[in-house]
Amino acid sequence: MNQEKKKLFSEFPSISTAEWEAVILKDLKGADYEKKLIWKTNEGLSVKPYYRAEDLQHIPWLASYPGDFPFVRGNNPTANHWLVRQDIQVDTIASANEKALDILMKGIDSIGFELNCDKQYSIEEIEALLKNIRADIVELNFYSTAQHFDLVRYIDTLVRKYNRPLEKIFGSVSYDPLLRYARQGVWYDSEEADFCTAYEMINASKALPNFRVLKVNGHLFTNAGATIVEEMAFTLSAGSEYLTRLTAKGLFIGDIAPRIKFNLAVGSNYFLEIAKLRAYRLLWAQLVNAYGLNDSLNGRMFIHAQNSSWNLSIYDAHVNMLRTTTATMSAILGGVDSFRVLPFDSVYGASTEFAERIARNQQLVLKEESYLDKVADPAAGSYYIENLTNMLAEEAWKLFLEIEEEGGFLIALKKGIIQKKINASADKRRQAIATRRETLLGINQYPDLNGKIDWELPVSVFQPDDRTDKQAEIETIKTCRGAQQFELLRYTTDQYSKTHKRPTVWLLPFGNQAMRSARANFASNFFACAGFEIVNNPGFETVEQGIEAARECGAEIVVLCSSDDEYATNALTIFNALKKTNEVVLAGYPTNLVDTLKTAGMEYFIHVRSNVLETLQQFQQRLGITQQ
């Protein structure tokens, strides 16, 4: 028998990149390659339509293994293990303990206790909170409190009392004075005192090698609308600030870096988010190494992540489950150490038991049924993801160095540099949502025509989350959601319709079957974003029939839906017949006809370049739903 081994597909000839490019240029038929095929991301990256093996030649980490410095391939050398986390709001000690014990039986192996920031907890209360919870088999995290130092001492005392192995105690307290300062504009005590507290906490936790006492809450930047590059650079800069301040106080880098946990948010840009997490670990390892590591393992970055709230919505809220699932997959494939899925109803406030169960099971399905925990760094070797990782690392490092040249994170924050960049990016993204260049399903595109909110919601749901203290020293960073302006638009219509007739948009399709159907669908999606009632029609045999039906319908808005050729013949006739009784809108933008129609008095043309948000706000004003 022939024992010769042949490579798979070896019978096919090798095709060079030049040959591929020649075929692509031929198929483009003169169209601009850059505009058609190069993806320009919000981060300023130029992503090619395809990558090949030759695109890996400049990437330096490909020879490394999972678990090896610089940890771009993850911290775990043999698998992709991560902890499934759920957070619990501690209203009462007893109820929080009961809930913790319940969810631990349902697949959770990491708990985040959201404490009452206005309450001082005793060690006896924390002991009661953790009753029957094995600290050596469950990760315990505490946040939303000013008792960070007390909690470190409490945990140290309690695990000794119950004779738990100290090296098996995993968890964290969320002490992050820098990001508190960024969000509230004030320190816990003062700048110097807060860094002294960080110093003392590290010393107090030396017996607990896997308990993280400092947090870098980079999710603040993500949820404020920053790009991925900005988020990475600012988060790393905050981490660097801690390293600089604490080494200056005499601590060794090997004592500081392993005590830091990064809290990040993962958005919906599937492949970029995978690459982001890999690039984070690469840059952090290199950054920590610059301080003089004597053990490469201390260059590991410990990441807890959760879904970004930027793209979550109130309307069509069940779609949030799809958003959080894809983002969760990105986080897992990118190699997080623990993850929390935001319940789909979290934007309303306290989540229901059903929503929390679904959130838990989203991760458990990915782990137990999809086996995403079995392979270390499953994205390794992908031409596309490896190049995205490299591009993000390079761009984030450039911005990081810019911040360092300004004097570091804190000085850049005090100068307003960081806030200015984030605000500009957030405004750009909101503009993209308003013009539908960025889609939020069910919000600015394909809304549920029957989706209504007839209950009262607090105004804060539709506004940025501003936690600025009255004594704030700086302009603070506010988190927000991309959907808020569209949601307020629609909610305003819903509230108006409780005591008034809901505004009706009546579609008048005529002429060319394909064009009238396409433009009717476009108009339906357009106006449904404001919560208006949509009345579609199959079309009319004559324009006169359409005019007569439109007069009888009683709709506030009539939309003409047809081809540009048909508009040239009939649009002016229809407009003149209906303009006294209806707001007449034309779906499309026939350039040769627009000036004529505008001269006759037609104001509204809806098309793919329209600012959907501004146009719908204007209609609400015209209809008396809102005041000018």
pLDDT digits (tens, 9 = 90+) for 517-541: 999 999 999 999 999 999 999 888 8
* Joined tokens for residue 56: 């890996």
Cα–Cα distance for residue pair 538/271, rounded to 1 Å: 42
Give the per-residue pLDDT at 95. Answer: 97
Domain boundaries of the chain, sorted by first residue: 17-53, 83-174, 500-622
Read off the pLDDT band of 205 (50, 70, 90).
very high
Query: For residue 605, what are the β-bridge partners?
Result: 586
Q: Quick check: do 83-174 and 500-622 share a fold?
A: no
- CATH code for the domain defined by 83-174: 3.20.20.120
Q: Residue 441: pLDDT above 90? A: yes
Q: Is 292 left (phi over 0), alpha (psi -120 to 50) or beta?
A: left
Read off the pLDDT band of 4 (50, 70, 90).
low
From 215-219, 319-323, 325-329, 349-353, the region with the lowest mean pLDDT: 349-353
pTM for this model (two decimals)? 0.94
* pLDDT 10s digits, 78-126: 999 999 999 999 999 999 999 999 999 999 999 999 999 999 999 999 9
Give the per-residue pLDDT at 351. Answer: 92
- The arithmetic mean of pLDDT across residues 333-359, rounded, is 95
* pLDDT 10s digits, 555-608: 999 999 999 999 999 999 999 999 999 999 999 999 999 999 999 999 999 999
Say if domain 500-622 classifies as CATH 3.40.50.970: no
Give the per-residue pLDDT at 9. Answer: 78
* pLDDT 10s digits, 24-36: 999 999 999 999 9
* Joined tokens for residue 544: 């006169």
Which phi and psi angles does 87 have, rounded to 5°? -100, 150
Give the per-residue pLDDT at 541. Answer: 81
Question: What type of residue sits at position 6?
Answer: K
Instruction: Compute how many other C-beta atoms are within 10 angstroms of the C-beta atom of residue 191.
Output: 15
Type and span of the H or E element at 587: strand 583-587
Type and span of the H or E element at 262: strand 260-266
Cα–Cα distance for residue pair 41/399, rounded to 1 Å: 16
Q: Kindly report the three-state secondary structure assignment for every residue of 558-577.
A: EEEECCHHHHHHHHHHHHHH
Residue 137 CA, chain-centre distance (Å), reads: 31
- The arithmetic mean of pLDDT across residues 324-332, rounded, is 98
Percent of the chain with pLDDT over 70: 99
Give the per-residue pLDDT at 349. Answer: 79
Helix axes 612-622, 484-496, angle to 10 degrees: 20
Instruction: Compute how many other C-beta atoms are within 10 angstroms of the C-beta atom of residue 252.
Output: 14
Q: Residue 481: pLDDT above 60? A: yes
Read off the pLDDT band of 3 (50, 70, 90).
low
- The arithmetic mean of pLDDT across residues 418-443, rounded, is 96
Give the per-residue pLDDT at 10. Answer: 79
Q: Residue 492: pLDDT above 90? A: yes
Q: Residue 513: pLDDT above 60? A: yes
Which phi and psi angles does 142 have, rounded to 5°? -130, 135
Each residue of 565-591: b (16+ CB within 10 Å) or e?
Answer: ebbeebbbebbebbeeebbbbbbbebe
Cα–Cα distance for residue pair 526/517, rounded to 1 Å: 14
- Interior angle at CA 44, CA 42 and CA 45, nearest 5: 105
Q: Kindly report the three-state secondary structure assignment for every residue of 232-244.
A: HHHHHHHHHHHHH
Read off the pLDDT band of 13 (50, 70, 90).
confident
Please state, rounded to an integer, the average pLDDT across all residues of the chain: 95
* pLDDT 10s digits, 261-285: 999 999 999 999 999 999 999 999 9
Cα–Cα distance for residue pair 559/348, rounded to 1 Å: 35
Give the per-residue pLDDT at 19. Answer: 93
Residue 156 CA, chain-centre distance (Å), reads: 35
Read off the pLDDT band of 12 (50, 70, 90).
confident
Each residue of 512-531: b (16+ CB within 10 Å) or e?
Answer: beebbebbbbbbbbbbbbbb
* pLDDT 10s digits, 40-60: 998 889 999 999 999 999 999
Cα–Cα distance for residue pair 302/218, rounded to 1 Å: 13
